Structure 1
Amino acid sequence: MDQDLDALNKKAVATAREYTTELAWPTMALVLLVWISLIGDFYLFATGQLSLPTATLIYAVVTYMSYTPLHEAVHGNIHGAHHRQQWLNDLCGYLVAPLMMVPFSTHKVEHFTHHRFTNQPDKDPDYVVNGMSGGFLAFLACGFRFLWVQNTFLFRDYWPTAPRRVKAAYIAEVLFAIGWRAALIALIEREHTWVLLVFGYLAGGYFVAYWFAYRPHVPYQESTRYRNTNSLIMPGWIKPLEWFWLGQNLHSVHHLFPRVPFYRYHALHRRIEPIMRAHGTPMIGAFNRRNVDAARRPE
């Protein structure tokens, strides 16, 4: 049986490799869309053409969407096998990091630790979100701890040995992320600009914490490959949310094959789903968390 699973895994690896070489133009387009949306949102709010609630909602959406290209850049998925274009990968990472307030220069330290020790309470830095369903106060506390860890994890062991250029980049990113927000508060001549910036960011950040970090790993009981992350199957009637989610409901694909771009998750999942099921990957409803049989999967 182990030999059969090993053979299936090799087949999945070979299939996934087909998706890891391309230059990720859709991700670069997403970076452009995020910035155009952000600038448009702030301009329309500043000129009184958008209400505070609408502008805040748009900013929350942009904040959430900014994390996917940051996440892709951390894994080197934007330049793929085109190593001479790594500067495009890094440029995209640095462009969106100030929106998510997670420094690109050091995020790899925290995120790769999460991949190495997924769901292990004493080692996985993202484990801090495991209690988000414990009530409103727990939701707030866990979400805040998650956002805090993204910025401070490197201080545990990495900071003393980090090169000066990395330290300088980290400090510059933090100052820039705070600075442009302070400048907007000073420049936009409308009341409650700070509400837009604070609550829009928090709404987007908490969406990342809950749907990107927490839900794909519930119930946090497995740390083995193929079983440490769920495939969250969306009902057919709510496809628009799946598109907005940017494929992260199939976060299992990412943990199995981190070099596959996010917009290829669904294609790869369709091809290797029988292999994933053979290895015991949880395939559950996104909202009811019930097991979903292959025959009942919505197209």
Structure 2
Amino acid sequence: MESVTTSAPDTATDQVIERDEARAGSAPENKELIRAEQAVAGKYIGGVAWTPVIWGLGNLAVWLSLWPLVFLDILPLWAAFPIATVNVAASYLPAHEAMHDIIARRGSRLHWLNELVGHLSMIPLILPYRVARLTHLEHHRHTNKPGLDPDYEMHGSGPVNALWRHFRNRQPGSTIGLRGYPEVLKRLGRPEVVLDGIAYQLVFYGILCALAWNGFGIEAVLLWWLPRHIGSSYVLFFLSWAPHHTNFGTGRYGNTRAWKSRLGNIGSMGMQFHIVHHLYPNIPITRTPAAYREMKPLLEARGCDLGTL
């Protein structure tokens, strides 16, 4: 589904490599590892990634279709509820690809499509694209740093504790987790983006109230409100907790890991190869398994945490 071309890593990746070369000093083996990584990564970066376009817009279309199907008694609500939950959970990753300009690079003629997918894909999740993009890129800049990493509060002693922390963090009055994003945006000098979140919330709860007023309260709960809570927990669990909970380092090779998920790569939202994403964020998620397999000996030489994958 994707047009793959061989290209050198982008400017941001080059800057990371140059920085690491400086840190490596005169150690030729370190520089050799960096250049070998760059050669592998270059095979998987570039081209137009069509998979997230089809995924993001198709997933949204399926979710939107559930509403008339349920209202017209074509699809029972009990069957639509799990589909809606999957739709909400699946809505994040296409936008995530857009956050890194993976669908189409900035300055290219299709960059508008990158932004379109970013904005539309996460409508079921009620997470504004600009908010998600700015905070996610901040996570990459400051992974595992307290007070700087927006996802730091997802760290927990175990899976149950992590889910409980997420549940607690999204309660009214919380100033951490997703509810801490406004402070992150203010720190970044982008306080106006907070208005995106306010607008999304007003529209979301306005629609829910209107549906309930017109006798569709149960439908509103099971097609959107509850799937959103379940989906957001699923997304944060696999993107924020699972790849980082054993890795509290802040260095490029120690702030995340590769790991074997019981749910497989699809069930874990492609996060088994999260270490590749942090090293080279411009590699599309559909290409990270192949990139990981080729890069694995280099990561082992670095002493990275690769689990049993």
Q: Same fold (TM over 0.5)?
A: yes
Q: Which amino acid aligns with 2:274?
A: H
Task: Normalising by structure 1, report the TM-score.
Answer: 0.81
Instruction: Provide the residue aligned with 2:225 in structure 1.
Output: 198
**Contact (CA 8 Å) 2:57, 2:117: kept in 1 or not?**
no
Residues in 2 aligned to 1:187 and 1:20: alpha-carbon distance in whole angstroms: 49
1:78 aligns with 2:108: no
Q: Percent identity?
A: 26
Task: Give CA deviations for 1:112-138 in whole Å, capped at 9, x if unaligned.
Answer: 1111111122321101111262746x6
Q: Report how many residues are paired.
A: 280
Shift of 1:191: 3.7
1:130–1:220 CA contact under 8 A, matched in 2: no
- C-alpha separation in 2, matches of 1:266 and 1:134: 24
- Aligned partners of 2:57 and 2:121 also within 8 Å: no
2:294 is the alignment partner of 1:274: no
Q: Distance in 1 between matches of 2:303 and 2:30?
A: 10
Question: How far apart, CA to CA, are the structure 2 residues paired with 1:134 and 1:204?
Answer: 16
Matched, 1:153 2:181: yes
Structure 1 residues 259-285: Cα deviation after superposition (integer angstroms, max 9, x where no partner): 11111111111111111111122112x
The residue aligned with 1:110 is 135
Structure 2: state its 5+ residue gaps. 1-23
Alignment CA distance shift 1:3-1:168 (3 Å): same
On the 8 A contact 2:247/2:254 being kept in 1, the answer is no
Residue 216 of structure 1 corresponds to 243
The 1:223/1:97 distance shift into structure 2, 3 A limit, reads same
Partner of 2:37: 12
Against the structure 1 CA distance between its residues 157 and 21, is the aligned structure 2 distance closer, same or farther, given a 3 Å change threshold? closer
- Alignment match, 1:122: 147
Q: How is 1:25-174 mapped onto 2 (pairs within 5 angstroms)?
A: 25-80=50-105, 83-131=108-156, 133=158, 135=160, 139-145=163-169, 149-150=177-178, 152-156=180-184, 158=186, 161-162=189-190, 166=193, 169-174=196-201
CA distance in 2, matches of 1:160, 1:7: 35
Q: Tell me how far 1:8 sits from its aligned partner.
A: 1.3
State how far apart, in whole Å, the 2-side matches of 1:266 and 1:115 are.
Answer: 20
Moved more, 81-90 or 260-269: 81-90
8 Å contact from structure 1 (residues 131, 142) kept in 2: no
Give the aligned residue type for 2:183: F
Q: What is the SS of the residue equivalent to 2:286?
A: helix
Which whole-Å deviations, capped at 9, do the CAs of 1:83-109 have from their partners, x for residues lacking one?
Answer: 221111111111023222211122222
**Distance (Å, rounded) in 2 between the aligned partners of 1:35 and 1:157:** 27
Q: Structure 2-normalised TM-score?
A: 0.79
